[in-house]
Amino acid sequence: MFVRLVPNIIARTVIVRLLLGLATLFGVSIIIFAAIAVLPGDFAKVALGRSATPETVANFRHLLGLDQPALLRYMHWIGGVARGDFGLSFSSGTGTPRTVASIIGPRIANTLTLAAVTACVAVPLALGLGLLAAMYRNSLLDRVLNTATLICISFPEFFVAYVLMLFFAVKIPLFYSLARISPDMSSMEMLARMALPIVTLCFGTVAHMMRMTRATIIGLMASPYIEMARLKGVAPWKIILRHALPNAWAPIVAVIAFNLAYLIVGVVVVEVVFVYPGIGQSMVDAVKSRDIPVVQACALIFAATFVILNLLADVLAVASNPRLRQPAS
């Protein structure tokens, strides 16, 4: 009976969170569209230049559909998004129209690659350091790790990026200062060019995950079953790995999923600093050129990524915590 009940609870959690996520994305899409609509400036005037006549600007706005009411433009845009069509880029101008998907598609792959490699480095490192800090609580190692993580969290990403670039690309030329990659590069060359962006992203993510792991493990170390294991003479590392860690997965998984969402959503600054060809760089370029469809698509993709990874965190938290799988009485 209980075995059949667990999938039902997880399925119900997925359905509820998915409906909430869809409602959240709908609200976010309205906010994104409204925020971009009230931005100062006019793409038609920017694209045609100051010498353009009012008639030319009006014709260009009509060609792009910018003269339509805001509600009608939103319904057309969100209807296309529901079908997987983000529309045409304004940057095409009077030339061959380019779809938004063709512009941001390769950039999404680059951002996901950067986030995946960073996660493969950051997650094991954060878990290992968190377990070490919890095992040797209040020791010199614990104090050093806590101080280091506080320092990492305190500095903004752009500062860390420029410091790393100065020391490891200029003073000591071990890595590349610009992370420009292309499909024809080998995997090792790509990793070499992505090294500094990866380290920059690891600074904040490792610090957050390590501190959460440490706090969760220390909180569980005062539990009665941990005390019983100690009285039985179980080794400290076995107590943490076999008794404390399995019960700490729910909050740890949640913070890992949150930081993975941050790796994708929060890469904008890092991509701009290192000129990495990701979706964050595309969004910044689109903002500069007033390419509204690209900005809207990038913002919506960031929001959807955040919602999906938080949904995954909720599901994994329920699946990894026996108490959360118990039916409500």
For residues 69 and 80, what is the distance between their CA atoms, to the nearest angstrom?
17
Cα 127 to Cα 116, 286, 315, 321: the distances in Å are 17, 37, 20, 18
The confidence score (pLDDT) of residue 2 equals 43
Q: CB-side exposure of 272: number of CA atoms within 13 Å? A: 15
Specify the DSSP class assigned to residue 328.
Answer: P
The confidence score (pLDDT) of residue 196 equals 92
Contacts (Cβ under 8 Å, ≥6 apart) of 294:
89, 90, 91, 100, 103, 104, 282, 283, 286
Of the two residues 238 and 97, the one the predictor is more confident about is 238
Per-residue burial over 271-306, b = 16 or more CB atoms within 10 Å of its CB, e = otherwise: bbbbebbbbbbbbbbbbebbbbbbbbbbbbbbbbbb
**Segment 47-73 mean pLDDT:** 77
Domain ranges of the chain: 109-279
- pLDDT band at 329; cut points 50, 70, 90: very low
**Segment 319-323 mean pLDDT:** 63
For residues 230 and 141, what is the distance between their CA atoms, to the nearest angstrom?
22
Name the residue with tokens 């030329």: 173
Q: What is the rounded radius of gyration, in angstroms, for the C-alpha atoms of the chain?
A: 24
Of the two residues 155 and 63, the one the predictor is more confident about is 155
The answer on pLDDT for 272 being more than 50 is yes
The confidence score (pLDDT) of residue 320 equals 66
- Contact yes or no for 151/238 (Cβ under 8 A): no
User: How many other C-beta atoms lie within 10 A of the C-beta of residue 64?
Assistant: 18
The confidence score (pLDDT) of residue 3 equals 45
Tens of pLDDT, residues 213-253:
888 888 887 778 777 877 787 787 787 777 777 777 777 88
The answer on pLDDT for 203 being more than 70 is yes
User: How many other C-beta atoms lie within 10 A of the C-beta of residue 128?
Assistant: 13
Report the candidate in 149, 133, 261 with the shortest Cα–Cα distance to residue 203. Answer: 149
Of the two residues 62 and 274, the one the predictor is more confident about is 274
Of the two residues 316 and 132, the one the predictor is more confident about is 132
Cα 107 to Cα 100, 268, 271, 297, 301: the distances in Å are 11, 12, 11, 12, 12
CA dihedral (168, 170, 174, 178) in degrees, to 10, reads: 90
| 109-279: CATH number | 1.10.3720.10
Question: Can you tell me whether residue 217 is helix, strand or coil?
Answer: helix
User: How many other C-beta atoms lie within 10 A of the C-beta of residue 250?
Assistant: 19
Pick left, alpha or beta for residue 3 (phi over 0 → left; psi -120 to 50 → alpha; otherwise beta): alpha
